[in-house]
Copies of this chain bind each other. A is one copy, B any other.
Amino acid sequence: MNKRTKQKELTKQNIFDTAMCLFLRRGFIEVTTAEIAKEAGVAHGTVFVHFPTREDLVLAVIDSELATAQQRIDRLLNKSSDFLTLASSYLDYLAEHEDFHALLARELPFYKPELRNRIIFRQALIQMQFTDLLKEEPNATYIAQYLFGMTHYYLSMREAFSTEGSVIQRFKDSMMVTMKTMMGGFGQ
């Protein structure tokens, strides 16, 4: 491969990595293209050589993160056969990737409808797979809604809780207890 072509790919990767790092730390809305360029050590214009618009860069990062997330969750779904185990693993996964998911929870309402719907669609798919695992349970929908609703709530409120470490980890036990209760409690 050309030295020039190789350098070009390196530069693109550098911009992409820098952008991802900044976006995950401070959000897709706040970080500017000038800042990404400066942090990556390239000229402002170079960003637009590799990503024609800012939105293209945002989409590239989001797509990459979503793909990783999807893989991880598919693995969880294949491994776990009962709902509570799956829920527990899912919470661990969220805690591990909390930056990205807190970001989505906060900023999702401000994304362009097309992107927002794509993200919501993915989350709805995951939610359905969880609900499937609850099919013997008469109130599967309530329990799944609880899991996704409360995690969304804790994630979007992360700053307010001002916890050291993960909010999801902090509230995991309380959520697990509640879901256990809900599974036994209905219809009695």
Assembled-state Cα–Cα distance A174/B117 (Å): 25
Verify B152–A146 contact, CB threshold 8 A.
no
Return 19 A-B CB contacts under 8 Å, by A number: A29-B110, A109-B156, A109-B159, A116-B159, A116-B160, A117-B160, A139-B177, A141-B174, A142-B178, A145-B174, A146-B150, A149-B149, A149-B150, A150-B150, A152-B153, A181-B181, A181-B186, A184-B185, A184-B188
Verify A146–B185 contact, CB threshold 8 A.
no
Question: A residues engaging B (CB < 8 A)?
Answer: 29, 105-106, 109-110, 116-117, 120, 139, 141-142, 145-146, 148-150, 152-154, 156-157, 159-160, 171, 174, 177-178, 181-182, 184-186, 188
B-chain residues with CB within 8 Å of residue A150 when the two chains form the complex: 145-146, 149-150, 153
Oligomer copy total:
2
B-chain residues with CB within 8 Å of residue A154 when the two chains form the complex: 149
Closest to A141 in B: B174
Assembled-state Cα–Cα distance A150/B110 (Å): 20
B-chain residues with CB within 8 Å of residue A120 when the two chains form the complex: 160
Assembled-state Cα–Cα distance A106/B29 (Å): 14
Assembled-state Cα–Cα distance A106/B152 (Å): 12
B-chain residues with CB within 8 Å of residue A105 when the two chains form the complex: 156
- CB A35 to nearest CB in B, in angstroms, measures 18
